[in-house]
With several copies, the nearest count.
Chain A
Amino acid sequence: MEMMIMSRSSDEIVYGLKRDYLEKISSGGNRIDGRKFDEYREIKITTNFVTRAEGSADVRLGNTRVLVGVKIEQGEPFPDTPNSGILTTNAELIPMASPTFESGPPNEDSIELARVVDRAIRESKMIDLDKLVITPGEKVWVVFIDIHVLDYDGNLIDASTIGAVSALLEAKVPASKVGQEDFQLPINHIPVMVTMAKIGSNIMVDPSLEEEEVATARISVATDENGDLVAMQKGLSGSFTVEEIFKAVDTSIEIGKDFRKRVFGR
């Protein structure tokens, strides 16, 4: 057990060396963990992990681990959508998951994570919110997606989206609380999010933490089962050419098809 209290300057030097190394091997078509540019890490999903929640999924994407829970409770509809249920997504980057995460209210990273995952689910119209009305204009079902990051080794956006989609697919609306029968959450579509990182001039899917640390730009693309785009988010302070963007979109559509079948069985 040695203590790693480095000065910022030595941090910077280590960072520079790392970046150079990863850029060098990527120019030869390689990644630090031996994967191909379009290769995901292993995905393991355990659903129904939290039986007290209406839906849940424990997702491991390589060494990244995210637990997503879905709670479905009664609430008031928004005034401008009286005949529609409510979807709300929250993410917590708890300090358990990384030495760099801090306690406290959500910061810009956890807010961006929650909002990007929310966008993929909301814009794909995955959940049929119109079927979540109890009394029109008065009472509707509120679907809470809570993303709890347990172990951070890169690509939280994809791990969290997989977790949210998995948890929603198994979630039941507890309608027995209002004198009806419980029913499966009504699902219309299944979004798949694929995140890519740019290292040097190469773009690779599912970046690990080591790759994220040296990446200059990031792009996440969510598609539905028709191959349509439903959400997108470019991140970090680097840039993509328009051609790289289009290629990233194609990669996402391709991988989405495979995922939808292989991971979600649809």
Chain B
Amino acid sequence: MSMVSNIKLIDENGLRIDGRKFNELRPIKIEVGVLNRADGSAYIEWGGNKIIVAVYGPREAFPKHTQNPSRAIVNARYNMAAFSVDERKRPGPDRRAIEISKIIGEALESAIFVEQYPRTSIDVYIEVLQADAGTRIAGLTAASVALADAGIPMKDMIVGCASGKVDGKIVLDLNKEEDNYGQADVPLAIIPRTQEVVLLQMDGNLTREEFEQAIEMSKKAALFISNLQKEALLAKYSRPEEKEEVKEEAEQENHGDDDHE
């Protein structure tokens, strides 16, 4: 939200620079069980984002002093590959990644029955292989699926979507240019069943009314994406005979091009 530019992000027909309508998602594709070593895994393509998530656990928390005798601890690690962004990123976590890891971990924990696994850790590794705005929500959305794939008992699968303000208008699911030159960004994640909010951030400038508009738009989109999560899981488990084969070829319907309403 920091750079200034003369770029026109919405044209005279109300279309955005990638041709989307104000309330249109980018294409989303989710795959389940894409890794062999992990206890659970998922891969998501969301616009230009390519993110893979592995889940390990519940396993004995290490080092020992981190163990909680009454529940599992949830560790999320959001990491960008050095080559995932335009200018090479130095390997290792920066401050942004540490903050994102923290809020993703808290959001996931809200849905997991942590009391069932005292003294253990549930480790969620989110690797951003290519970044194109909205990585935290895309990563979180895939992480829920990976947790389900690992068989971790959850109330529901967390899901999210961001909205923002671009050229003075509230729009859904910002892309890179909109994120760089827009006026606000509001990532949101919810528990779909209850529609409660488990992750929420905001930066930029929004009136009270614009904020409400953004939240409602994101919530609706999140519920749509929740279905993509379930379909992805179903696609894996409805074909048990292929389960042990080339998992990554399990193609989902790509609903992303459709207007989600």
Contacts and interface: CB of A to CB of B under 8 A. Distances in A.
A binds B: yes
Interface of A: 1, 3-5, 8-9, 12, 49-53, 56, 63, 65, 67, 69-71, 73, 80-81, 90, 92, 94-99, 103, 105-106, 108, 111-112, 114-115, 119, 122-124, 144, 146, 148, 150-153, 219, 224, 227-242, 245-246, 249-250, 253
B142 interface: no
The SS class assigned to the B binding surface is mixed
Interface in B101-154: 101-103, 106-107, 109-110, 117, 120, 123, 125, 127, 129-132, 150-152
B87 interface: yes
B31 interface: no
B36 A153 contact: yes
B58 A53 contact: no
B77 A99 contact: no
A73 B204 contact: no
Contacts of B131: 52
Interface in B154-204: 186, 191, 194-204
A130 B56 CA distance: 46
B1 to A, nearest CB: 6
25 contacts: A50-B50, A50-B81, A53-B83, A70-B83, A95-B125, A97-B37, A108-B102, A111-B98, A111-B99, A111-B102, A114-B95, A124-B205, A146-B81, A151-B38, A227-B208, A228-B206, A232-B202, A233-B103, A233-B200, A237-B107, A237-B198, A238-B198, A241-B197, A242-B196, A242-B219
Contacts of B87: 73
Contacts of A123: 1, 203-205
B102 A52 contact: no
Given A50-B50, A245-B200, A246-B212, A239 B191 contact: yes
B200 A219 contact: yes
